[in-house]
Amino acid sequence: MWIEIIREVTASCQFQPPATSSELADVEQALNLRLPSSLRTLLEETNGIYNTDTQYYEVWSAGEIGYRNQGLRDDSQLAEMYMSFESLLFFASPGVDGIQFAFPITASGTVRDKNIIVWYPIEDSRPVIAMSLKDFLIRWFKGDLVL
């Protein structure tokens, strides 16, 4: 489903082999959360999306999601500069200025499966940029999202 959706809007993506259930469980355990169903099904279909035009991973692999989120949460210098990262699950970046895309996490620790946030580190702002992962991916690959 996800690969077909993306192929409808761009031909410049390479899709990685699916994430294993073990890889997904490792991320959930490391971050102490349950992945949102849309992100989980995407990773079960392709464990990362590489854009051949930008030569950049547009959506990270499960392992990269775990690594990057844990790194942001554990960095004491970042903790002094920014609001907590415990309320965001980062999954992608456009590769400029440290900007990253994320799902919001509620105070009870539930990752919401709607509303994609863009984090701008320069001003530490976190506005909603899309209403769902599907909306985000379609608009992102069409070039309709302006940062």
Fold of the 11-142 domain? SMI1/KNR4-like (3.40.1580)
For 40-82, what is each residue's pLDDT tens digit?
999 999 999 999 988 889 999 999 999 999 999 999 999 999 9
Query: Is residue 146 pLDDT above 90, yes or no?
Result: no
Backbone angles phi, psi at 129, to 5 degrees: -115, -20
* Angle (deg, nearest 10), helices 2-9 and 133-142: 30
Structural tokens at position 55: 């030569």
Please name the helix (run of DSSP H) or strand (run of DSSP E) that holds residue 119, with its range, or none. Answer: strand 116-119
pLDDT band at 147 (very low <50, low <70, confident <90, very high): confident
Cβ-based burial of 22 (10 A; exposed 0-12, middle 13-18, buried ≥19)? exposed
Q: Say if residues 35 and 78 touch (Cβ distance below 8 Å).
A: no
Give the pLDDT confidence score for residue 138 in this predicted structure. Answer: 96
For 9-40, what is each residue's pLDDT tens digit?
999 999 999 999 999 999 999 999 999 999 99
